[in-house]
Amino acid sequence: MSILKSLAAATLSGLLLTTAAFAEDKPVVGLVMKSLANEFFQNMMVGAEAHAARRGDYELRAVGMQNETDFESQINAVENFITEGVDVIVIAPADSRAMVGPIKKAIEAGITVVNFDVALDAAAKTEAGLELAFVGPDNRGGAKLAGDALGKALGQGGKVVIIEGNPSADNANERRLGFEDSIAEYGLELVDSRTAHWETEEANSVFSTMLTANPDIQGVMAANDSMAIGVVRALEAAGRTDILVVGFDNVPAVGPMIEDGRLLATVDQFGTDMAANAIDLGLGVVAGGPPLEGWVKTPVSLVTK
């Protein structure tokens, strides 16, 4: 079994993923990710474990969700890390509002928290009196890169649909807005827009329904590659090769799809390095460095054939 499949299997069995034991005097980092059934987070986990082994000066404890809507697992993970008294919590929230309370509790317990990948909801933070920096990409700008590639290929009047992520996640909303920016700029026609909660099989089902209702669709904007893969499978099942698809994440599985044209473009947000970089920032604060402020932007890049 591959490392990635092993990680996913462990998470789906409800197991806490940890690195090898370290000396007790080393700081402990609790990493809270989203679904390790998603290849993007599998790669992130591999990158985080390699980073911990390379640095060798902290203990990594990492946990992921069973699926993309298993929000309770993230809440429980933060609660457990508070009880354990970890030094740093690095978290990619699955629900941008629901995680505000647990994260505030962690900060009040004296734990350094780094919010990465998916930003907490700004209004919810204000309501809770929580100030916390965000470390992550410009999801709206990244989605527009992919949307622009589709807009240039289709031209004025091209009929498109959007397959959205979790409505409660900030990055899902930002990517939808980025796609809508491209639709406006290139004069595309938005036929339908629905969530598939980041999931491959749900995207397959949702898009199949869209395609039946609108067989003249010309392009699909999927808010992550897992959903883009579901769309590609639906197109293959329908025998359609005339519809262009873009995604977001640049997971290894879409490489061959870009090469053979099944996927027009995706957006790389360098997920393998994302958690590792956030851990570095958190450990820097613990070591006496200044607190993180505002938005610490991480890179995005368009990927095409």
CATH number, domain containing residue 247: 3.40.50.2300
Q: pLDDT-based confidence at 76, cuts 50/70/90?
A: very high
Which residue range is the domain that position 242 belongs to? 139-268
Model confidence at 10: pLDDT above 70: no
Pair 163, 187 in one domain = yes
Answer yes or no: do 44 and 112 share one domain: yes
pLDDT value at 5 more than 70: no
Query: Do 98 and 168 touch, CB atoms closer than 8 A?
Result: yes
Question: Based on the domain organization, do 93 and 171 belong to the same domain?
Answer: no
Out of 49-53, 70-74, 219-223, 234-238, least confident range: 70-74
Task: For residue 304, tell me if it sits in a domain.
Answer: no
Query: 147-194 pLDDT, tens per residue?
Result: 999 999 999 999 999 999 999 999 999 999 999 999 999 999 999 999
Same domain, 262 and 275: no
Would you say residue 289 lies in a domain?
A: yes
Does residue 102 form part of some domain?
yes
168-185 burial, b for 16+ CB within 10 Å, e for fewer? bbbbbbbbbebbbbbbee
**How many alpha carbons fall within 13 Å on the CB side of residue 89?**
33
pLDDT beyond 80 at 21 = no
Whether the pLDDT of residue 83 is over 90: the answer is: yes
- Encode pLDDT of 235-261 as tens digits: 999 999 999 999 999 999 999 999 999
Share of the chain above pLDDT 70, in %: 92
- Provide the pLDDT for residue 69: 84
Give the pLDDT of residue 70: 87
For residues 4-24, give the mean pLDDT: 42
Tell me the average pLDDT of the chain: 92
Residue 237 lies in a domain: yes
Q: Does residue 188 share a domain with residue 119?
A: no
Residue 15 lies in a domain: yes
pLDDT for 11 equals 41
Residues 276 and 133 in one domain: yes
pLDDT of residue 24: 62
Whether 303 is in a domain gets the answer no
CA–CA distance, 262 with 259 (Å, rounded to integer) = 8
Q: What is the pLDDT of residues 266-300, one digit of tens each?
A: 999 999 999 999 999 999 999 999 999 999 999 99
Residues 233 and 277 in one domain: no
Listed in sequence order, the residues at least 6 apart from 239 whose beta carbon sits closer than 8 Å to its beta carbon are: none
| pLDDT tens for each residue of 163-174 | 999 999 999 999
Do 175 and 143 belong to one domain? yes
Pair (156, 112) in one structural domain = no
Statement to judge: residues 218 and 275 lie in one domain? no
pLDDT confidence band for 8 (50 / 70 / 90): very low
In a domain, 305, yes or no: no
- Overall number of domains in the chain: 2
179 and 34 share one domain: no
Judge whether 197 lies within some domain: yes
In three state form, how does the secondary structure of 89-114 look?
A: EEECCCCCCCCHHHHHHHHHCCCEEE
> Domain check: are 86 and 184 in the same one?
no
Amino acid (1-letter code) at residue 195:
T
